[in-house]
Amino acid sequence: MSEKMAELKNDRFLRALLREPVDCTPVWMMRQAGRYLPEYRETRAQAGDFMSLCKNPKLACEVTLQPLERYDLDAAILFSDILTIPDAMGLGLYFEAGEGPRFKKILRTAEDVDALPVPDIKRDLDYVIAAVREIRSALAGRVPLIGFSGSPWTLATYMVEGGSSKDFRHIKEMMYARPEVMHALLGKLADAVTLYLNEQILAGAQAVQIFDTWGGALSGPMYREFSLAYMKRIVEGLIRENEGRRVPAILFTKNGGQWLESMADTGADALGLDWTTDIGEARRRVGDRVALQGNMDPSVLYAPAGRIRSEVAAILESFGPGNGHVFNLGHGIHQFVDPESAGVFVDAVHELSVAYHD
């Protein structure tokens, strides 16, 4: 075991992902460093805008650590954005107030896809890798660091639509009418994501998560062909051991609970669940093949403390005794949540889960 790993004071999260015994269920939150925290809003204002914050390793480190100063979380997650890869491919990522991410260049033709370069991660995304190193050093072994990327399908959706979409008109037209172009794009993205995550691992990320935000917009056959197949390819290409320890991989497809068995076939160590899937039923379906991460509705955090605790208790009871559960929200924490409510949530998970572990 390396000196770095020997310094890890809390490995509860990593152990749970590998279905190993823990003293209580570990917990972290998607978007745990974000707009619901006043200190985050102050740092973002200091940076000037969101992408300037992402591209400043010192400030990205600062906001990554902010929730750990408030809450007894079991993991930190790299502060970045899922669209850094398309930006590094020259599409010109920017953010419109109230409209979310947009791209200056949109992909619509085979020629557009052919001309798309696979980025040089060390050169084009050096700020992300620098942030990973900075955060890992600042954590000093306190908790593990999670790296992440968007899935190829999700990245492609933004790149073809030009931003968020309600009907996915352009990407579904490409998928159905010109599948060879779609596969060419997804192949390039899978290669880029694999390189990107491996560089994060080498820089110090101790687990990685692939966010498939829009996989749930597909039918079952299309999901398996155009989303899951490429996530499987990424998982197969990941560095799975570093610093003398396994580096767990988590797949999270929003609205993808109907495909858990197929997702478990990818070789990932854990599957993320949104709140539309009962975690106990998910556990019965996948058995001990993978760990499960999730899955409280983020809107529960608008409720009084007692209601938050009862929802935590219900999810723990549904999962039941034993190993392989990482508690999380079913998606990212909402920006209007009271930070005190997030604290109630985290503390409830630790307190109420002890009874489920030997």
| Residues that are catalytic | 31, 35, 44, 81, 158
- Edge to edge, the sheet with strand 145-150 lists 76-77, 145-150, 207-212, 249-253, 270-272, 291-293, 325-326
Reference 64, options 38, 93, 31; nearest CA is 31
CA distance 183 to 124: 24
34 is in an annotated binding site: yes
Annotated binding-site residue? 309? no
Question: What is the rounded CA–CA span in Å between residue 109 and residue 174?
Answer: 9
Place of tokens 């600062």: 62
Among 295, 292, 230, 297, smallest CA distance to 261 is for 292
Known binding residue 338? Answer is no
CB 325 within 8 A of CB 319: yes
The length of the chain in residues reads 358
Determine the Cα–Cα distance for residues 24 and 190; give it in Å rounded to an integer: 35
Tokens of 129: 């890798």
Of the candidates 295, 309, 298, the one whose C-alpha atom is nearest the C-alpha of residue 350 is 309
33: annotated binding-site residue?
Answer: yes
331 is in an annotated binding site: yes
**Structure tokens, 37:** 């925290």
DSSP state of 163: B
Both tokens assigned to 231: 């996530």
How far is it, in rounded angstroms, from Cα 145 to Cα 26?
A: 14
Query: 336 and 321 in contact (C-beta within 8 Å)?
Result: no
Report which of 258, 352, 347, 345 is spatially closest to residue 299, judged by C-alpha positions.
345
Q: Do the Cβ atoms of 154 and 211 come closer than 8 Å?
A: yes
Residue 153 three-state SS: helix
Instruction: Annotate 245-267 with DSSP letters as a single string.
Output: EE--EEEEETT-GGGHHHHHTTT
Is 81 marked within a binding site?
yes
Annotated binding site: 31-35, 81, 158, 213, 331
Annotated binding-site positions for substrate:
31-35, 81, 158, 213, 331
